[in-house]
Amino acid sequence: MKIAMGNDHSAVYMKNVIKAHVEAKGYEVIDFGTNSAESCDYPVYGEKVGRAVADGEADYGIAICGTGIGIGIAASKVKGIRVCTCSEPYSARLSRPHTNTNVLTFGARVVGDEMAKMIVDEWLDNEYQGGRHQRRVDQVMEIENH
């Protein structure tokens, strides 16, 4: 399974922490950067992660900026992407079975390393349930067509 990862300048350290964490769990990471502390624009990286998932290059995406909000908004503009921006594990966990999110974002300036790992674990370790949730997910995706 492949995970597309992207981040802005505020999250280079956090990206590397999470990259090592998911690689240890057996995932292959496609790292879209940035790997520089020089100021850059989060939409560039949010879009790269979103497109990699939407195009099937990656199974999931994880994108990190200062808050997780900007890069999450950017990734969610890509057709086919359902983002969850999470600062705690409970929401990350439920966003998989209920809403089938395919990109996770969070803030390197909001959560610490261990909380981030827990968020990622809950997100990756819980599968989409389908069933009654599918109608609602379909309704969400239909909004993209208007």
Is 87:22 a contact under the CB 8 Å cutoff?
no
The gap from C-alpha 51 to its chain's centroid, in whole angstroms, comes to: 12
Q: Which stretch binds ligand RB5 (CB under 6 A): 16-24, 48-56, 61-69, 135-143?
A: 61-69
Residue 48 tokens, joined: 């790269």
- Closer of 34 and 100 to ligand RB5 (Cβ): 34
Greatest extent of the chain over all pairs of C-alpha atoms, in Å: 46
- As a whole number of angstroms, the distance between CA 121 and CA 100 comes to 15
Amino acid at 13: Y
DSSP 21-47: HHHHTT-EEEE----S-S---HHHHHH
45 binds ligand RB5, rule: CB under 6 A: no
Q: Is 65 a catalytic residue?
A: yes
Selected catalytic residue, list 9, 65, 84, 86: 65
69 binds ligand RB5, rule: CB under 6 A: yes
67 binds ligand RB5, rule: CB under 6 A: yes
44 binds ligand RB5, rule: CB under 6 A: no
CB of 86 to ligand RB5, least distance (A): 14
Selected catalytic residue, list 21, 40, 86, 98: 98
Strand segments (E) across the chain: 2-7, 28-31, 60-65, 83-85, 103-107
- Closer of 12 and 54 to ligand RB5 (Cβ): 12
- Residues that bind ligand RB5 in the complex, under the rule CB under 6 A: 8, 10, 42, 65-67, 69-70
Q: Please list the active-site residues.
A: 65, 98
